[in-house]
Structure 1
Amino acid sequence: MRRAAVWTGCAVIVLLVAWYAGSQFASPAPQVSAGSVRLGPEAGEPVADYLARLPAELPAPGAAAPALVQLRAGLAAPDVIALLDDAPLPVRSVVFRVPLPRVQTALRFEALAPGVPLPTALDTARQRAGFAAAVDAGRLTGRAAAVAAAEEAALAAPCACLVALVVEGDRAALDAIAARPAVRAVHAAPPGTATAELALSPLLPEQTGRADPLPDDGPVPPT
């Protein structure tokens, strides 16, 4: 019994150490938003295969559906507003990601308040994303905390950090937005899908061959 108690105590210590290490070095934010309908490539999926399957997932003519608009490069809010200037596509949510060379940064998912003018809604969403980064910088340690602090600094002012947005539109509107030079892909959910049901995992500008994790061996800029 004494030996069993010793082994049990050792196992508890190992589990606690593993939990502590995971909590200290975990990614500062989830890379997929919660939901059951995935929009974005599967992990490790070849980019060419992903892009090739998207046209078949657009809604039938006359039907409207939410869709993830994935951009070729991060855009600032004025660029997103210009992109949507003459498109009848209400924006439901946006995805921010601070681009740092060879540094993994968090995807920050922010819903937009309905009825608020788009410039105001985007600016408010950016501030919320910056606050979330500040919270991560305070609760994490080491490299993860430094990355979150760099994100907070970038999001404190308008930045080219918008990498995707969720819109809602019919087939014609989604086809039109997909044809714009700044847009890399439009991935539609089935018609009738609620925004809360979406699991967003956008294709990132740096992902060209496969939807694999990006390198994380570069220096973190000081803040």
Structure 2
Amino acid sequence: MPDRRTLPFGRLVLGAAAVALVVFIVLLGVLNPPRKAGVFTDRLGPEQGEQVADYLARARDSLGGMDAAEHWALVSFTEPLVPEQIPPHSAGMRIAQVLYQVPIPRVQTPLVAVPVPAGDAAAIDSAESAAWLLPRSAPDERATRVTALSAARLRSGCACTVGLVLRGPLDCLRKLSSQNGIRAVEALPADAVAGRFGVVPLLPEQLDVIQPGPNDGPVPDQ
């Protein structure tokens, strides 16, 4: 009489095949490890509460290195620019975003980031796009007036450009950082992924500590 504890031959074959499959998958993972994902948690610009001097030093340090790869970088200005001044402040590098914020004394206004295609004309024309990207609704009457005034000034070509996101090599970014009108240039590591990093410019009026400005001033009519 056959021993009932003995596994049938077919089950033995299936078991051996399953073990072989597991071993193959493990070996495949060892021999072909997954590629590291790009940098997804980066940020360009100062942190809330950071000392401006510390950010300026951090931005300078980010431009060190001798690699020839292109890097995403944030350019912050000493004064807001009119749209026609954007190309001379990019040193011919690819402009990916133009950052706008309408300056109104003691009034907080929204920051608007406008993605742009290649070419100086697109960067210059982006102020109109910034006006369209402003919120269509506001929580109160004051915010509604701020939004309407910001849109009107952007469409009039105001000096409201507060930063650029560029793509270029470190040597070009270092040269740009020494140009008149440039307050800071901060670069991300070369493996940073487009669209996977935050951007907040260093505003011209931020001199000591990064913090929200006052919001108790009157909103002009125009």
* Structure 2 length-normalised TM: 0.77
Q: Say whether the 8 Å CA contact 2:45–2:186 is kept in structure 1.
A: yes
Alignment correspondent of 1:105: 109
Alignment correspondent of 1:76: 82
- Provide the rounded CA distance (Å) in 1 between the counterparts of 2:111 and 2:217: 18
Tell me which of 23, 46, 52 is aligned to 1:47: 52
- The offset of 1:59, in angstroms, is 5.4
- Provide the rounded CA distance (Å) in 2 between the counterparts of 1:36 and 1:42: 14
> Secondary structure at 1:216's aligned position in 2?
coil
> Secondary structure at 2:195's aligned position in 1?
helix
What is the identity percentage for the equivalent residue pairs of Structure 1 and Structure 2?
36
- Provide the rounded CA distance (Å) in 2 between the counterparts of 1:188 and 1:162: 19
- The offset of 1:74, in angstroms, is 0.6
Gaps (5+ residues) in structure 1? 1-34
- The offset of 1:141, in angstroms, is 2.5
Q: Say whether the 8 Å CA contact 2:98–2:123 is kept in structure 1.
A: no
Alignment correspondent of 1:127: 128
**Counterpart code for 2:122:** T
Alignment correspondent of 1:186: 185
Q: Say whether the 8 Å CA contact 2:103–2:160 is kept in structure 1.
A: yes
When Rg is computed on C-alpha atoms for both structures, the one with the higher figure is 2
Q: Say whether the 8 Å CA contact 1:59–1:191 is kept in structure 2.
A: no
Written as runs of structure 1 = structure 2, the 5 A alignment for 1:204-215 is: 204-215=203-214
Alignment correspondent of 1:89: 93
- Provide the rounded CA distance (Å) in 1 between the counterparts of 2:123 and 2:203: 23
Tell me which of 103, 118, 121 is aligned to 2:120: 118
- Provide the rounded CA distance (Å) in 2 between the counterparts of 1:82 and 1:186: 15
- Provide the rounded CA distance (Å) in 2 between the counterparts of 1:219 and 1:139: 17
**Counterpart code for 1:192:** D
Alignment correspondent of 2:167: 168
Cα deviation, 1:29-76, whole Å, max 9, x if unaligned, reads: xxxxxx731111110100011111222222522232110001111101
Gaps (5+ residues) in structure 2? 1-39
Q: Say whether the 8 Å CA contact 1:88–1:173 is kept in structure 2.
A: no
Confirm or deny that 1:218 pairs with 2:217: yes
- The offset of 1:194, in angstroms, is 2.3
* Structure 1 length-normalised TM: 0.77
> Secondary structure at 1:196's aligned position in 2?
coil
- The offset of 1:139, in angstroms, is 4.3
Runs (4 or more) in structure 1 with deviation over 3 Å come to none
- The offset of 1:149, in angstroms, is 0.9
- Provide the rounded CA distance (Å) in 1 between the counterparts of 2:215 and 2:112: 18
Q: Say whether the 8 Å CA contact 2:60–2:184 is kept in structure 1.
A: no
Higher helix share: 1
* Number of residue equivalences: 182
RMSD over aligned CA atoms reads 1.6
